[in-house]
Structure 1
Amino acid sequence: MPIWRRNLLVCWFGMFVTGIGMSQIAPILPLYIRQLGVDDPGAVARYSGLAFGITFIVSAIFSPIWGLAADKYGRKPMLLRASLGMAIVIGCMGVAPNVYALIGLRMLQGVITGYGTACTTLIATQTDKEHAGFALGTLSTANIAGSLLGPTIGGLIGENFGMQNDFFLIGALMLIAFATTVLFVKENFTRTETKVPGMKEIWSAIHEKSLTLTLFVTFFVLSVAMYSVEPVITVYVNQLTQGASHVALIAGIAFSASGLANMLAAPQLGKVSDRVGTHKVMLAALLAAGFVFIPQAFVTNAWQLTGLRFLLGIAAAGLNPSVNTLIKKITPDSLTGRVFGFSMAAGYLGVFAGSVMGGQVAGWLGVKYVFFTTSALLLANAVWVYFRVYRKMNRAQGSVDAEANK
């Protein structure tokens, strides 16, 4: 088996577990905070919002820092640091003595993150051009699937086995990720720089500045879109089922349907992008995702919503790998970790912004308008991508083809 394929398997498992670890706390957080001694409903809501959001905000700050460290010291050390650190910190959440300790541990979880940045950089730099789309497409399914399945897994374990066991399970899985990284990840890393460049030097070394910013914004918008429904999907399913039993389970299935579709479709769309062009797949996926959100506002039952969420997952599967593949193509190898760190930061900010936006729009305008707002964001981003990415890449590809035919 080629080294890049073996590394891909290990990184996929680690990013999947990391995605679960980042998101599994969502459905049990208010209950766990109440169990820690907070009785006032208003205080529970405030602490829940703070404990959930602080991880993603801090992760957005530290992702570029760990990306720089990956470029300087190697990607495997960053994988080991993040997996072992998260195993310890998440496991400690199960024995938190009070809500302040829990919030502090969630903040520390955001500080030590960086597993996804190191994995993406490792695979991007070790995979040959012919397989880059497939490899990054496969890798992108891990974090998204883990993040989308995490709330369902967290709710089921918390309900049936106790909330502390959520944290112990994820900690144990992260220890397995640490062990498999030690044993199976191979990296031939050569440090090429002695001086760490500042932001000005990094930015000046990036030739495609406008394209890079467009890709960051696209990754941010995608993360907003995928998480805008999370705060309100249970309320929406309850409206559609008219208070039927097992609303939480049905909502979890509807939310996780897009994660399943993403896992199935991303590797295949990665192969398509390798053949026809990454920019074409990205634009088509943005348009498809934007339009699929609209009918979700008009469904009459939960299973129609689940089907449309599945279609959304297929469309979204063409976005993450496309963004990562284009970043790989336009970024110097010596800066790959730092640029992917900024990309991951944009994604973490998108998760937080999407959750906040979904709750606020639903609260002021109604749940249906969450779908309309998200659709408008994706379609506006598609227009921007058409002018900033698609046309530019098409012209470049046309020039290459013309030279080859001479």
Structure 2
Amino acid sequence: MKIWKRNLIVCWFGTFVTLIGMSQIAPIMPLYIKQLGIHNVSAISQISGIAFGATFVVSAIFSPIWGYVADRFGRKPMLLRASLGMAVVVGSMGLAQNVYQLIGLRILQGVITGYSTACTTLVATQTEKKHAGWALGVLSTAFVSGSLLGPLVGGYLDEFLGLKFTFFLTGGLMLIAFFTTLFFVKEDFVPSEKKKVESAKELWKQLPNSNIIVTLFVSSFILQFAYYSVEPIITIYIGQLAGSLNHVALIAGMAFSASGLANIIAAPRLGKLSDRIGPQKVVLGALILAGIVFIPQAFVKNPWQLMALRFGLGIATAGLSPSINTLLKKITPEKFTGRIFGFNISAYYMGTFTGSVIGGQIAAHLGIKYVFFITSSLLFFNAIWVYRGVYKKLKDHDKISEADIAMDVDTDRKSAHRTA
């Protein structure tokens, strides 16, 4: 097996487990906080929000930092650091004696994360160019499916194995990821010479396509915002749709995770498509389709219709993440790849956190249906921005390149004619 394929398999498993570890705590957080001695409903809600959101906010801050370290010292050391650190920290959450320890461990989890950033950089830089879109598409299924299936996994484990065992099992899986990374990931990395660390402002000045990169970061943010804007309200919405049906929480988990299942199926295929027709076309098409699919979710009559539309959303957006990463790889100088992917992961994390918070606020003040309308509008707005800021610019760039080639050929022909 080729080295890049073996690295992709190991990175997929580690990223999937990492994202499950970060998101599986959502449905069990209130129960665990109650088990730790907090019984006031209002206090449980507040502490749950802090504990859940802290990891993503801190991860958004530290992802570019670990991306820079990966550029300096290699990606494999970052994979080992993050996987071992996550194994210890997440496993320790099952031993927490009070909510302060739990919140502290959640913050520490955000600090030591970086497995996903290092994986994306490793796969992007080592994969053969003609397979880059497909490889990043496969890896993206670990991001999205891990974060979407995490709440469902957490709920199942709690029901059958207990709250504490959920943390122990996740920590154990991360330990397996550590050893598979240690023994199977291969990287030929030449450390760069020690030099002054560029600030974000200095880094931006050296990027040839900084405006396009910003647009892609915004697209990553809105992708996660769109997924997670419905998380706070989906159980309530299912309850309204279900009527006398039992197991509302289970059906809500299935509906929320349907997008993750569709993503696993469609992302590699759309990654291959982006290799053929260009990733910018896939990004634009995916945003438009996602905006369309969100609208009928406000008018469904039963949970199964909602589940089908969530599955359709997963197919529509499956090409976004790999195509964004492929574009970032193409337009970013290699020495900055880790930091740029780190900023992109930060956008993902902030989209996850912001979507969860704002989705609930929109539902509380305007109504549940407006969550779907506003999210759809954001996707359409993003599509317009991508068309103007990415698609047209890259299309014009391709035309210029073709014109330059034609001029070179014509010049060569005239030169040959004069020589004859």
Q: TM-score range by the shorter chain?
A: over 0.9
CA deviation vs aligned residue, 1:320-371 (integer Å, no higher than 9, x gap): 0111011000111111001111111111111010001110011111111111
Q: Distance in 2 between matches of 1:271 and 1:107?
A: 37
CA deviation vs aligned residue, 1:104-159 (integer Å, no higher than 9, x gap): 00000000000000000001110121111011111011011011000001001111
Q: Distance in 1 between matches of 2:196 and 2:358?
A: 37
Q: Distance in 1 between matches of 2:134 and 2:219?
A: 20
- 5 Å-filtered alignment, 1:1-400, equals 1-199=1-199, 200-400=201-401
Whichever residue aligns with residue 14 of structure 2, its letter is G
Whichever residue aligns with residue 263 of structure 2, its letter is N
By how many angstroms is 1:243 displaced?
4.3
Whichever residue aligns with residue 294 of structure 1, its letter is I
Q: Distance in 2 between matches of 1:331 and 1:197?
A: 17
By how many angstroms is 1:403 displaced?
5.0
Q: How many residues align?
A: 406
Change (3 A) 1:196 1:145: farther
Which sections of structure 2, spanning at least 5 residues, go unmatched? 410-420
CA deviation vs aligned residue, 1:165-199 (integer Å, no higher than 9, x gap): 11011001000000100010000001233204322
**Conserved in 1, the CA contact under 8 Å of 2:258 and 2:307?**
yes
By how many angstroms is 1:395 displaced?
1.6
**Conserved in 1, the CA contact under 8 Å of 2:73 and 2:192?**
no
CA deviation vs aligned residue, 1:5-64 (integer Å, no higher than 9, x gap): 100000000000011001000001001100000011111011000000000000001001
CA deviation vs aligned residue, 1:209-261 (integer Å, no higher than 9, x gap): 10011111111111101111111111111110014211111111111110010
TM-score normalised by structure 2 residue count = 0.95
Q: Distance in 2 between matches of 1:243 and 1:367?
A: 20
**Conserved in 1, the CA contact under 8 Å of 2:284 and 2:386?**
yes
CA deviation vs aligned residue, 1:72-131 (integer Å, no higher than 9, x gap): 110000000000000000000001000110000000000000000000000111012111
Alignment RMSD, CA only? 1.0
Q: Distance in 1 between matches of 2:402 and 2:246?
A: 59
Whichever residue aligns with residue 216 of structure 1, its letter is F
By how many angstroms is 1:397 displaced?
2.3
By how many angstroms is 1:307 displaced?
0.5
**Conserved in 1, the CA contact under 8 Å of 2:124 and 2:132?**
yes
**Conserved in 1, the CA contact under 8 Å of 2:294 and 2:376?**
yes
CA deviation vs aligned residue, 1:367-404 (integer Å, no higher than 9, x gap): 11111111001000000100001111112223344555
Whichever residue aligns with residue 176 of structure 2, its letter is I
TM-score normalised by structure 1 residue count = 0.98
CA deviation vs aligned residue, 1:270-327 (integer Å, no higher than 9, x gap): 1000000111010000000111000000000111101100110011111101110110
SS in 1 for 2:301: coil
Which sections of structure 1, spanning at least 5 residues, go unmatched? none
**Conserved in 1, the CA contact under 8 Å of 2:290 and 2:379?**
yes
Q: Distance in 1 between matches of 2:336 and 2:2?
A: 25
Deviates more, 1:387-396 or 1:79-88: 387-396
Q: Distance in 2 between matches of 1:196 and 1:21?
A: 35
By how many angstroms is 1:201 displaced?
3.1
Whichever residue aligns with residue 26 of structure 1, its letter is A
Q: Distance in 1 between matches of 2:169 and 2:282?
A: 37
Q: Distance in 1 between matches of 2:108 and 2:76?
A: 21
Q: Distance in 2 between matches of 1:202 and 1:364?
A: 41
SS in 2 for 1:38: coil
Q: Distance in 2 between matches of 1:193 and 1:266?
A: 37
- Higher CA-based Rg: 2
Q: Distance in 2 between matches of 1:174 and 1:233?
A: 29
Q: Distance in 2 between matches of 1:214 and 1:197?
A: 25
Q: Distance in 1 between matches of 2:153 and 2:35?
A: 19
